[in-house]
Structure 1
Amino acid sequence: MRTHIVSQFSEVDNSTMEKLALFILLPGVALAFCEEGFEQIGEKCLKFETEFRLTFAEAHEFCLEQHGASLALIDSARHFKAIIDHIITNGMKESFWIDGTDRGHEGQWTTKEGQDFPMGTPFWAGFPDYQEPNGGTKENCAHINNGQSFYINDVDCNSAFWFICEQANNYDQYYKNESASEPLCLLDYIALGGKCISFLNEYAVPWSEANLRCGDLEYPGELAIVDDIELLRAISVHLNEGWLTDHDYWLGGYDEGHEGLWTWTNGSGVPMGTPFWGLGSEGQEPDQGSKENHLAIIGHGHFYFRDIDGSANLHPLCQLIG
């Protein structure tokens, strides 16, 4: 592997080769060499343009002409989360253009160059009664919307926003971590997002009983701990493809006894904010205080995290123990 990588860069200057060697020697590090003005966010080199606002077309042109770059492409849930984490950590409070449009082919969202653009959870803003995009032919360009907790929304392409440029031709095309292989799962479980998951659709029980139902499986499980955004994505895709959008599921999270401090049953913290928690009429979940102390994903809530009264009868969503 190392010999192959070095051969790809036989004509690269010594400084670049030194950087390449450093990355190769550090296991688990994704390779990206960012040009001046760009910074590595996740596995990509991005530049957040925050000095002026442009239309969608102008932003595309600016990225290309000024940086030889394109508008940022969201191509995985993990990359989307890295961008949102960066925006929030740096206190940015405006919206950003990204590379997504359905102009000319209504409802078929792609990049400007025709690559697939991700749909559904955990990318687009999800409310109890609808999920973006919902602007029809009047709103044909995608932006990360400050007004919707930085989820993606469709908007008029002639609006003016800050924007994110993505550096082209990163060296990470030659070396990336291989995705974790899916486990071989036992009876009652399926492999999703690196875990063995079971949907107990034959039961609808309160949260306190749900964990017991998971433990009663032939190979005992526990309520699922969904702390990886790619796992939430995989669960959402599975439920939508299986026509199970009318189902609601308990997860192993709660804040009962310590209001506002959401933890999993193993004692670790539940991830908060975007892109895990959905939106409601009063802002972003959780929004019901001490009335609703248990964690669920709800079909009509587009399988984002929601706080729910633990006495409600929902299906257990289990993971294999161990």
Structure 2
Amino acid sequence: MEMKRLSLALVLGLAVAVAGQACNPPFIMVGSKCLYVESDLRLSWPEARDFCKGLASDGGGADMASFPSCDNFVAFSRYLEFNAPNISGMWVGAHSAFTPNMWQWISGEDLQTGVPFWYYNEDYDGTRDCVSISLDYYNRLVDAHCELPLSFVCEKHLARKDEAEQAATKRARDMECENHGILVGDFCYVFNDRLETWEEAERNCRSQYDEIGGELYYPSSCNEFTHMAHHLEAAEKANSYWVGGVDISGNEEWTWVNGENIPGGPPYWATGEPSHSHDNQPREHCTVMTAEKRYYLQDVHCGDRHPYICKLRFL
């Protein structure tokens, strides 16, 4: 292996102990994964996977990187934004399995289309069976011909948490939602089809469900956002729903209604969003989840009228 390809990884790749194992050079820790980004060599998807497997050492396995966890995917996406600005595409460990447009990570987990991994306008044509990250689309996934020469990312396998620890980290609730709410994932929501402005929707969520802490919907995590997007898609909700994202200052400082910052790019925003500028009149200061953008966030005029989603607090 050429020293040129490994020099940056060697500088950055100081050993990091994780779960009793070391993330040693050429791998570096990104999120909770041990990764090696090959940015100079361009290989086909099968060749890239063979290359990654050849990096196994000290009895530890290696393969092309999989990102079934939204948090790890977002962490890697943000790493690429700062460390791989000149790479247009990069192979990851996912491909179609069994039937067309059914995707799977090589680690065994299913890979759903849409939020939070895929470019919202991706259109599978039946001939592109391998998956790459495209830096042109906020570092989201696109399908590509497996023979295409691209950069790629490898992963060193670390020890998994034991089953008891995994079970302790899962959130499970067995409950019924109040006020005609619908349980989606771990939270209760009310889907209101009445057309309102953003301010009217936000006020209605608080006033109508005050006793159970109602607010205009905002996600507490990437997983909650994913559950909501997939619910809207499965329910064939063609509407654009108001959600609780707003640019209160007018200086493109986006926050949820609970005051937390909305980061740019993955996992929440559609590619090219937010799209408003200081020249827009009226300004687009409020957010919707819309089928047009595969239920990623889109900024629109606050005075527009849309249905809305209220989020209910657990008692």
Do 2:27 and 2:36's aligned partners in 1 also have CA atoms closer than 8 Å?
Answer: yes
**Which one of the candidate residues 219, 222, 232 is aligned to 2:215?**
222
The answer for unaligned runs of 5 or more in structure 2 is 1-16
Alpha-carbon deviations, 1:63-95, whole Å to 9, x = none?
Answer: 112324111112122221121122124354312
Q: How many Å apart are 1:272 and its aligned residue?
A: 1.5
**Which one of the candidate residues 265, 277, 281 is aligned to 1:273?**
265
| 1:231-250 correspondence to structure 2 within 5 Å | 231-244=224-237, 246-250=238-242
**Which one of the candidate residues 113, 119, 129 is aligned to 2:113?**
119
Provide the C-alpha distance between the structure 1 equivalents of 2:134 and 2:251, rounded to a whole number of angstroms.
Answer: 29
Partner SS, residue 272 of structure 1: coil
**Which one of the candidate residues 297, 302, 311 is aligned to 1:305?**
297
**Which one of the candidate residues 70, 78, 84 is aligned to 2:77?**
84
Q: Does 1:253 align with 2:245?
A: yes
The one-letter amino acid of 1:242's match is A
The one-letter amino acid of 1:47's match is Y
Provide the C-alpha distance between the structure 2 equivalents of 1:93 and 1:43, rounded to a whole number of angstroms.
Answer: 25
Partner SS, residue 172 of structure 1: coil
What residue is the counterpart of 1:315 in the other structure? 307
Do 2:96 and 2:103's aligned partners in 1 also have CA atoms closer than 8 Å?
Answer: yes
Do 1:144 and 1:153's aligned partners in 2 also have CA atoms closer than 8 Å?
Answer: yes
Q: How many Å apart are 1:227 and its aligned residue?
A: 4.6
The answer for unaligned runs of 5 or more in structure 1 is 1-18, 24-30
Partner SS, residue 215 of structure 2: strand
Provide the C-alpha distance between the structure 2 equivalents of 1:183 and 1:272, rounded to a whole number of angstroms.
Answer: 34
Q: Does 1:205 align with 2:199?
A: no
Do 1:98 and 1:144's aligned partners in 2 also have CA atoms closer than 8 Å?
Answer: yes
Q: Does 1:139 align with 2:128?
A: yes
Partner SS, residue 159 of structure 1: coil
Q: Does 1:167 align with 2:152?
A: no
Do 1:55 and 1:161's aligned partners in 2 also have CA atoms closer than 8 Å?
Answer: yes
What residue is the counterpart of 2:41 in the other structure? 52
What residue is the counterpart of 1:181 in the other structure? 172
Q: How many Å apart are 1:321 and its aligned residue?
A: 4.6
Do 1:254 and 1:295's aligned partners in 2 also have CA atoms closer than 8 Å?
Answer: yes
Alpha-carbon deviations, 1:18-47, whole Å to 9, x = none?
Answer: x68xx6xxxxxxx76434432333333222
Alpha-carbon deviations, 1:262-285, whole Å to 9, x = none?
Answer: 122233212221221112xxxx10
What residue is the counterpart of 1:16 in the other structure? none
- CA RMSD across the alignment: 2.6
The 1:71/1:273 distance shift into structure 2, 3 A limit, reads same
**Which one of the candidate residues 286, 294, 312 is aligned to 2:274?**
286
**Which one of the candidate residues 135, 140, 149 is aligned to 1:151?**
140
* TM-score normalised over the length of structure 2: 0.80
Partner SS, residue 200 of structure 1: strand
Provide the C-alpha distance between the structure 1 equivalents of 2:203 and 2:64, rounded to a whole number of angstroms.
Answer: 48
Provide the C-alpha distance between the structure 2 equivalents of 1:259 and 1:252, rounded to a whole number of angstroms.
Answer: 17
Residue range with higher mean Cα deviation, 112-121 or 50-59: 112-121
**Which one of the candidate residues 101, 104, 112 is aligned to 2:95?**
101
Do 1:53 and 1:162's aligned partners in 2 also have CA atoms closer than 8 Å?
Answer: yes
Name segments (4+ residues, structure 1) moved above 6 Å.
Answer: none
Residue range with higher mean Cα deviation, 288-297 or 175-184: 175-184
The one-letter amino acid of 2:103's match is W
What residue is the counterpart of 2:31 in the other structure? 42
Partner SS, residue 100 of structure 1: strand
The 1:124/1:317 distance shift into structure 2, 3 A limit, reads same
What residue is the counterpart of 1:3 in the other structure? none
* TM-score normalised over the length of structure 1: 0.79
